[in-house]
Amino acid sequence: MNSPQTLKADYLTSLLTDQPYLSASPLTYLNALRAEATDRVSALTVPTLRDEEWRFTDISMLTKTPFKPVREATELNVIDIKNFHIEEAISRLVFIDGIYAPHLSSEQKNKGISVTHLKADHSLHTATIEAHLGRHIKFNDNAFAALNTAFLNDAALILVSRDTKVTQPIHVLFVATQKDTANYPRLLLLSESNSKATVVEDYVSLQDGPYFTNSVTEIVLLDNAHINHIRVQRESTKAFHIANCAVSLDRASNYQSVSVAFGSRISRYNLNLRLDEQSECAVDGLALISERQLADTHTFIDHAKPHAVSRQMHKCIVGGSAHAVFNGQIMVRQNAQRTDSKQSSRNLLLTNKARIDTKPQLEIFADDVKCTHGATIGQLDKEEVFYLQSRGLSELAARNMLTYAFGAEIIERIPVSSLKLTLEKTVLEQTTIQS
């Protein structure tokens, strides 16, 4: 029998035990990719507090359970997921515990846009997919990205063709239903030249037990493409959620993202962006957590080329004895002249036991740039509370309103009305302290 110690040492390998049973894919490149990733998993170990990138985020709890992929898919009906329905969505892909659910999904296959999954017949796009799948995420030193890739069997695929502009959102829904299981969601979004789309990447749960979500998302914007990416992490509060997202912005493309983290016992979101010339990104985030939750967001914005613009506003509202971590690195490379970058980390502590670690990092190697960053950690502003009291609101009502507003400022940026309303309600519920 394994002692906890040996389990931890071999944890990644233990997770891999089911992987050899994945049937070989007819796609040669996919088999090669998996094999390469499997090698990396075997070579890497689970990060600990001794790793700089993980110094505030203790994931040893994760390693106490050998989560396995589900053997049998849970049968769900439309009614089971109707609470997560986004009415404006033109198309929906649903994965249950990592397994594609065709009867709950509505694919989209026309000239301009293709919303489908990897295992479906997509002979038209094989070369395109091969060129991008697994090519943007770096899993050489990233155990979890490697693990996801080792399990890469199916994936959500969204391909927006050149000059196609889709206004309604596309909803990719990952539903967790079985406890003690691991799921490896994968999403590839390719937005060709001069195309435009809005994608909601949504993690939800229909159960209360522990499980492990380890996701990888790759987003590719070719020249002049415009993507709105909304990421909603509303897993159960016992879940472990580790996610890696790589975004590649080609010339003059525009990436607008809002990511919210409400759920999970422990969550970690790594977002890496590479900006080409004249591209623009706005990367906003909200972590709203309480009790014993931990939410960690690491972002890396790479101004690799000149004239790119980046904007980032990350907010954390931390109650109970929860712990939020933000590490926002902005790299301005030597030739990235005329970079325009603004970053702001704003944090609200609701209790004495709540904790926040924030680290905005600006590394500039170019000399003609406009970069600002800043961080605030605090309680509610007394003058703001007084202002609302002077309008007749009780102190508690004033505090509740300001806490709500602090979070709602990020939610407001979500360009999908129904989702915005739903999430505003969640923020309202979670920030309202009853008298």
- Residues found near another protein in the complex (CB under 8 A): 381-384, 386-395, 397-398, 401-402, 404-409, 411-412
Nearer to another protein, 27 or 405 (CB): 405
Report the C-alpha gap between 314 and 320 in whole angstroms. Answer: 20
- The b/e string for 175-197 (b: 16+ C-beta within 10 A; e otherwise) is bbbbbebbbbbbbbbbbbbbbbb
Nearer to another protein, 48 or 389 (CB): 389
Compute φ and ψ for 267, nearest 5 degrees: -130, 150
- The CA–CA distances, whole Å, from 376 to 271, 349, 401 equal 21, 11, 19
Q: How far is CA 126 from the centre of its chain?
A: 26
Q: How far is the CB of 258 from another protein (least distance, A)?
A: 13
Element (H, E) at 326: strand 323-332
3-state secondary structure of 26: coil
Report the C-alpha gap between 141 and 359 in whole angstroms. Answer: 22
Nearer to another protein, 72 or 383 (CB): 383
Beta carbons of 224 and 253 less than 8 angstroms apart = yes
Q: How far is the CB of 232 from another protein (least distance, A)?
A: 18
Nearer to another protein, 5 or 434 (CB): 434
Q: How far is the CB of 294 from another protein (least distance, A)?
A: 25
Q: How far is the CB of 385 from another protein (least distance, A)?
A: 9
Nearer to another protein, 133 or 398 (CB): 398
Q: Given the structure tokens 């509610």, which residue do they identify? A: 380
Q: How far is the CB of 284 from another protein (least distance, A)?
A: 12
Q: How far is the CB of 263 from another protein (least distance, A)?
A: 21
Nearer to another protein, 80 or 409 (CB): 409
